[in-house]
Structure 1
Amino acid sequence: MIGCHMSSSSPSDEDRPSLNSDWRSFRAKLVARQQQLLRPVEEPSSVVDPDKAADNPPPITIGDKWAHIIHEPEKGCLLIATEKLDGVHIFERTVILLLATGPIGPSGIILNRPSLMSIKETRSTAMDVEGTFSNRPLFFGGPLEDGLFLVSPKDGDGVQKSGLFEEVMKGLYYGTRESVGCAAEMVKRDMIELEDFRFFDGYCGWEREQLRDEIRSGYWTVAACSPNVLGLESVGSIGLWEEVLGLMRRRKVW
Structure 2
Amino acid sequence: MSEARAGMLLVATPALLDPNFADTVVLLLDVDENGALGVVLNRPSGVPVAEVLADWGDVVAEPEVLFHGGPVSTEGALAVALLRADDDVPVGFRAVDGAEGRLGLVDLDTPVELVDGSLDGLRIFAGYAGWGAEQLEGEIEEGSWYVVPALAPDVFRCDPTDLWRDVLRRQPGELAWNSTRPVDPDLN
TM-aligned CA distance change 1:172 to 1:91, over 3 Å: same
Map 1:112-191 → 2, pairs under 5 A: 112-121=42-51, 124=52, 128=53, 131-134=54-57, 136-145=64-73, 146-155=76-85, 157-159=87-89, 162=91, 164-168=93-97, 169-170=99-100, 171-175=102-106, 179-182=107-110, 184-187=112-115, 190-191=116-117
Shift of 1:152: 1.1
Deviation at 1:167, TM superposition (A): 2.9
Q: Distance in 1 between matches of 2:69 and 2:12?
A: 15
Name the SS of the counterpart of 1:116 in structure 2. strand
Counterparts of 2:175 and 2:13 in 1: how far apart (Å)? 16
Q: CA–CA distance in 2 between the matches of 1:101 and 1:95?
A: 16
**Distance (whole Å) between structure 2 residues aligned to residue 231 and residue 156 of structure 1:** 20
Deviates more, 1:131-140 or 1:209-218: 131-140
1:87-102 equivalence runs, <5 A: 88-102=18-32
Regions of 4+ moved over 4 Å: 249-253
Q: Runs of 5+ in structure 2 lacking a partner?
A: 59-63, 177-188
Instruction: Note closer, same or farther for the CA distance 1:223–1:237 as it changes in structure 2 (3 Å cut).
Output: same
In terms of fraction of residues, the more helix-rich structure is 1
Report the Cα distance in structure 2 between the residues aligned to 1:219 and 1:184, rounded to whole angstroms: 38
Q: Does 1:239 align with 2:169?
A: no
Per the alignment, residue 192 of structure 1 pairs with 118
1:163 is displaced (CA, Å) by 6.6
Helix, strand or coil for the counterpart of 1:115? Answer: strand
Q: Give the Cα–Cα distance (whole angstroms) in 1 for the partners of residues 125 and 117 of structure 2.
A: 21
TM-score with structure 1 setting the length: 0.58
CA root-mean-square deviation? 2.6
Aligned partners of 1:76 and 1:101: how far apart in 2? 9
Figure out how many residues of one structure are paired with residues of the other and give that number: 167
* Percentage identity across paired residues of the two chains: 31
Go from structure 1 to structure 2 and tell me whether the alpha carbon gap of 1:101 and 1:113 turns closer, same or farther (over 3 Å shift).
same
Residues 17-56 of structure 1 aligned to structure 2 (within 5 Å)? none
In structure 1, how many angstroms separate the alpha carbons of the residues matched to 2:173 and 2:139?
A: 25
| Whole-Å separation in 1 of the counterparts to 2:111 and 2:94 | 9
For the pair shown, which has the larger CA radius of gyration, 1 or 2?
Answer: 1
Query: Using the alignment, how far apart are the partners of 1:73 and 1:183 within structure 2?
Result: 33
Gaps in structure 1 of 5+ consecutive residues:
1-68
Shift of 1:119: 2.5
Pairing 1:51-62 to 2, within 5 Å after superposition: none
Aligned to 2:9: 78
Instruction: Check whether the contact 1:118–1:138 (CA below 8 A) recurs between aligned residues.
Output: yes
TM-score, normalization by structure 2: 0.76
Tell me, in whole angstroms, the C-alpha distance in 1 between the residues paired with 2:4 and 2:148: 8
